[in-house]
Amino acid sequence: MKRVLVATSNAGKIRDFAGAASSFGIEIAPLPNLASLPSVVEDGATFEANARKKAEAYSRFVPGEIVIADDSGLEVDALRGAPGVHSARYAADEPHQAEANTDDEANNAKLIREIKRVPVEKRTARFVCWIAAARDGKTLAIFDGKAEGVILDEARGTNGFGYDPLFYFPQIEKTFAELSAEEKSVYSHRGAALRKFLAWHKQST
């Protein structure tokens, strides 16, 4: 079985990746000793820029191996695209200046406060994901995925992470937190981006 290294310590993301990769016969593994490596500052203006930056930086530590990194987040139309690239730091007083992520519970609480001001019919949003594949410090390819949905003002489900309990997917009448990793990979932004990567990986390796 082929192995792909993922530059993340987020267990939820690893589950998402593994769920999508299993049908391709590819093993998803976290980058070895990631916690001991210098952290990458995600100060890019876009999800794509942050994904490229992480993939290039971390791939230098495993010569010859393909490393993927993603940057993803939630864009709420009524909030002018917020939390956007600051999704993981949304609950901070100044998200664009925060150096550390804020926890999921705090981020979700802030989103609920903001969305309650918005009429139900205008709570449209999307999850966006960009995945960069790099080797030896150079980006090889980049892939994107989206999932369109609606933001709820109360959480539903316990399987997801991040904003999953608030992201309602009308197509299946469930939130992402009500899905298994395999089900989520079919519908999610991360699953869509990863399938593009996996198809590319199958052809190029």
| Residues tagged active-site | 71
Say if residues 43 and 94 touch (Cβ distance below 8 Å): no
The DSSP symbol for 103 reads P
| Beta strand residue intervals within the chain, DSSP E | 2-6, 26-30, 67-76, 124-135, 138-151, 167-169, 174-175
Both tokens of 28, joined, read 């998803």
Is-contact 84 166, C-beta < 8 A? no
C-alpha R_g of the chain: 17
